Amino acid sequence: MVFAHLGLEPGQVFLDAGCGAGEYSLYAARLLGEAGRVIAVDNIALSTDALNALPARPGEAPITAFAGDITDTLPIDPHSVDAIFLSTVLHIKMVRDRAPEMFREFHRVLRADGTLAVLECKKVEANFGPPLHSRLAEGDVRAMVEPHGFRHASTLDTGHANLICFQAR
């Protein structure tokens, strides 16, 4: 449901910011095909090393993973990424505290017609995910992202989370 909403196409470049174990990177690689490219970034080298150790899969986009802080300058060329996926990371306080720098950097690497997609658990009590005080409502996410060169494009309600998509302006 989430990836269908993103509308990824073969040959595109996908940035999985805060990739964790890389499940979304692996899924995107299948959708993008050999002509595509996946860049995965996480601050835990064990995760990115594991992604880099995976053998190339015929018909799938190559994955380049590196350990780094997504709130710092990324070693990615300007305007070279078609879609940035930030999944269940923005609720983390140290990421939120540096959100302006992170979103300015995302704006730098995103193509003019690219998509920034933020997936966060809804701000409701649940027996999974972050505690209620750390969760972000759609309005909270929009208030953090829009001042940094983005406009709201769409929101997908997945039941337990919101996928909030933005376009660079």
Over residues 133-159, the mean pLDDT reads 96
| C-alpha dihedral sign at 91, 97, 103, 106 | negative
Over residues 93-112, the mean pLDDT reads 96
pLDDT-derived band at 130 (thresholds 50, 70, 90) equals: confident
Task: State the amino acid at position 21 in one-letter form.
Answer: A
CATH of the domain at 143: 3.40.50.150
Structure confidence at residue 1 (pLDDT): 80
Six token digits for residue 67: 């350990």
Counting every residue written for the chain, the total comes to: 169
Q: How far apart are CA 30 and CA 112, in angstroms?
A: 24
Structure confidence at residue 155 (pLDDT): 98
Whether the model pTM is above 0.75? yes
Task: Provide the 8-state DSSP code for 130.
Answer: S
- Percent share of the chain, pLDDT over 90: 91
pLDDT-derived band at 90 (thresholds 50, 70, 90) equals: very high
pLDDT-derived band at 129 (thresholds 50, 70, 90) equals: confident
Structure confidence at residue 128 (pLDDT): 85
Is the pLDDT confidence value at 132 over 90? no
Q: Please choose, from the candidates 113, 131, 107, 106, the residue with its C-alpha nearest in 3D space to the C-alpha of residue 121.
A: 131
Residue numbers of the domain that contains 161: 2-168
Q: Are 121 and 160 in contact (CB under 8 A)?
A: yes
Query: What is the count of structural domains for the chain?
Result: 1
